[in-house]
Amino acid sequence: MQHPCMTCGACCTQYRVAFHWMESDEVTPGGVPHQLTEVLDPHRLCMRGTHSKPVRCVALDAQIGVYSRCTIHPNRPSVCREVDASWEYGKASPQCDKARIAYGLDPLTLADWRWRDEAGNDDDHPDDNGNSPSPQAPIAA
């Protein structure tokens, strides 16, 4: 099994991604690639592709519901880092649910996260070889 966001990407096609201009790599080393942004107002930038209809973030490489990846994942904006997948941390995410439903995908449930539960009989040898996503850094779709 893999992280549900790796086969979704719907949130990257539903919301404007706006953030403070200081998150840009022009100001902050390792920040959001400035060439992928546009000015939203004097204090904020947004990811290109998210300020007009249809919404689709320029950093998204996906076929929604089949495969998904953020091409700037380590350098994505803070607002992307803050969108959790539903039930990843024990509660529903209205943003995730709304985006998935817009594509005819079922909202995620607790069962979608069972793959990362430790097997009770593995002692110190879990089935996932240590490749589970970090609870501190969820993968944004």
pLDDT of residue 118: 67
Residue 57 lies in a domain: yes
* % of residues, the chain, pLDDT over 90: 79
Residue 56: which domain range?
A: 2-110
- Residue 131 resides in a domain: no
| Whether 47 contacts 37, CB under 8 Å | yes
Q: How many domains does the chain have?
A: 1
Residue 85 lies in a domain: yes
Q: Is residue 90 scored above 80 in pLDDT?
A: yes
Q: Is residue 67 assigned to a domain?
A: yes
Alpha-carbon distance of 99 to 91, in angstroms, equals: 16
Residue spans of beta strands (DSSP E) within the chain: 18-20, 37-41, 44-47, 60-63, 67-70
Q: In the prediction, which pLDDT does 17 show?
A: 97
Q: ω into residue 54 within 30 of 0, thus cis?
A: yes
Q: Is residue 16 part of a domain?
A: yes
In the structure, what pLDDT confidence band is assigned to residue 135 with cuts at 50, 70 and 90?
Answer: very low
Residue 123 has pLDDT above 70, yes or no: no
